[in-house]
Amino acid sequence: MRPFVLALLAACSSTPDATDDTTSETPIVPADTWAAPGAHGVGVRTLTLVDDRRGTPANGDQAALDTRTLPVEIWYPSDVGTVDGPTRNADPQAGPFPVMVFAHGFMSGKNDHALLGATLASRGWVFVAPTFPLSNLSAPGGATVMDVLNQADDMGFLLDEVIAGEGDLSWITGVVDGEQVAFGGMSLGGTTTMLASLYEPTRDDRVDAIVAVAPATCMLPLDAFAADEPPILFVHGDADAFVPLTGNSQPAWDASDDPKVLVTLKAGTHTGFPDATAALFDAVPNADSIGCSAAGAVLNSMSDGALTALIPEGTTLLSDECAAPCVGELVTPTMKPVRQGLLLRASVDAFLASVFDGDAEAGAWLSTGLAEAESDVSVQAEGLAP
């Protein structure tokens, strides 16, 4: 039973007379109710998958390779384990379960959103998170954004592998429902997700829903956002120093087809989304001050229009506001990373429940109830509420 329903029943149980025809206000359900663990135990496995049909480009002093190697972390429903303590290599529960492939951001990796992965596993999802060959923190030749089109194809490869359940993935045979697929990602991973879900040369038509967390979208083709687009959720902070909301998620939401949701975290940052920042930077006035020190200089050292160079010349882009990262004075104080993570998990859970379960309460809560319950959130939504 969904948390919205539980809260409604709790409110009704206090009514003195069950036959009373007076109506009470719909209870306000807080975000932590939706972010709470589900009914399943949580297992997790680490493995390395190799695509021998596609290569890895040369990068810096690293020569080109004939294959693409992807370390992967997979969270999944199990009879044992918890969100806070998943059981490693546990047997999965019998499926099939819907699957999300989730792409990390620049200079990040597969464990950046472990809490989201474990939470979704507890709610009956398989969550697949790779480390991409050239955009991770330890990439040979230095982390680069220029492999993003290949990353989009990596997501389809990973989906193929977990659906097939062969070789090192034989333990997951029959666990993944290839008819219920979501792609998600943060930052450059959000760009990767959009390319994998919307951009015709790299689009995977199996994607049923998109979760884009602070995605860099300004350089994407405008005509990618059109009819037959899967339902999409954007979650973005309005104090993001890397990928400003106004030039990225906002115009992407404007251009998207229904159903679509934009959850804006007031004073939310970019660096505040990954799990590591919740542990390390929650006491920092602005988490982007740390993120800019670590990655801002690297991004700014790349040539202007690096990503737009990957899109054919003459293409009309989504936005002309592709601002350089980490310029100008940072806002303080900002939302704490722990808070950002909670709001992200609540938004994603309600969105997936609405899209995949047809949960009307979930759609209504995300569309209107979230902003009613949480003063540090605003929501634009079309097509989810009943």
Contacts of residue 174, defined as CB under 8 A and 6 or more positions apart, other chains included, come to: 94, 95, 96, 165
Res 385: pLDDT:
63
Res 1: pLDDT:
39
**What distance in Å separates the CA atoms of residue 337 and residue 354, rounded to the nearest whole number?**
26
User: Residues 334, 287: contact at Cβ < 8 Å?
Assistant: yes
User: Residues 107, 143: contact at Cβ < 8 Å?
Assistant: yes
Res 308: pLDDT:
60
Res 3: pLDDT:
43
Res 16: pLDDT:
34
Residue 38 token pair: 């589900």
48-54 long-range contacts (CB < 8 A, ≥24 apart) are 48/72, 49/130, 49/157, 49/158, 49/161, 49/168, 49/169, 51/154, 51/157, 54/150, 54/153, 54/157
Each residue's pLDDT tens digit, 281-339: 888 999 998 888 776 556 554 444 555 666 777 788 787 767 778 887 888 999 999 99
Res 8: pLDDT:
31
Q: Please report how many Cα atoms fall inside a 13 Å half-sphere around the Cα of residue 126, on the Cβ side.
A: 31
Flag residues of the chain having pLDDT under 50. Answer: 1-24, 301-304
Domains identified in the chain and CATH numbers:
36-382 (3.40.50.1820)
Each residue's pLDDT tens digit, 255-266: 999 999 999 999
User: Residues 246, 321: contact at Cβ < 8 Å?
Assistant: yes
